[in-house]
Structure 1
């Protein structure tokens, strides 16, 4: 009886760990820009790893992000960018190979992947 309980618990734990993603794997790549248009004031790249999946993350704490280029992602991943720090305001889906640009500042993101 104990073996069945332990086996079921181990299977459930393995499923939860795989749903969270591999923390060392880079699932997506962004480039942040300080001006609209994804061409001026390159603030650097932002890799999104398994421990950042399916949760709200800050884009950059120190710089003002005015545009984001979505350079690449694993198949089955969807990126959302927000204008606030809590992933609530101005939710915008961004597709790979595009530049998200506007008059707003971009402050946070969520990446969801089929893992």
Structure 2
């Protein structure tokens, strides 16, 4: 009498568990720095995933980002960094394995990919 209920619960739980482990593709790997020249005050790494493509995203709301080093960008993708939160001011294209550093703070990014 309880077998159908237990079986249905087990199937639902297995489906939820398998959906939770599906990895999201990381298009970009970058590191944020609190000082210019990507040399000191490492604020940590950040990945840019599929749900962040073609929209304006904040870099870090808690820290002051003074430079950004890009460790990896997927082929066909272009990363832009901005000094405001609306992705309008001081647009910089950031190639792979470079350090973006300047006088202003970096606040947001946009990633565009040919997909």
TM-score, normalised by the number of residues in structure 1 = 0.79
- Aligned Cα root-mean-square deviation (Å): 0.9
| Distance of 1:74 and 1:82 partners within structure 2 | 20
Matched residues in 2 for 1:74 and 1:114: separation? 10
SS at match of 1:87: coil
User: In proportion to residue count, which structure has more strand?
Assistant: 2
Partner of 2:19: none
- Tell me the residue number matched to 1:18: none
SS in structure 1 opposite 2:51?
Answer: helix
| Secondary structure, aligned partner of 2:96 | coil
**Aligned positions, number:** 93
Over residues 3-62 of structure 1, what are the superposed CA-to-partner deviations in whole Å (9 max), with x where a residue is unaligned? xxxxxxxxxxxxxxxxxxxx8100000100000000100000010000000000000000
Larger Rg over CA atoms: 2
Distance in 1 of aligned mates of 2:78 and 2:103:
23
The separation in 1 between residues aligned to 2:55 and 2:64, in whole angstroms, is 21
Q: Gapped runs of 5+ residues in structure 1?
A: 1-22
> Which 4+ stretches in 1 moved above 4 angstroms?
none
Deviation per CA, 1:61-86: give whole Å up to 9, x if none: 00000000011011001000000000
Distance 1:53 1:72 in 2: 15
In 1: Cα distance, 2:44 partner to 2:66 partner? 13
Q: For structure 2, list consecutive stretches of 5 or more residues without a partner in the other structure.
A: 1-22
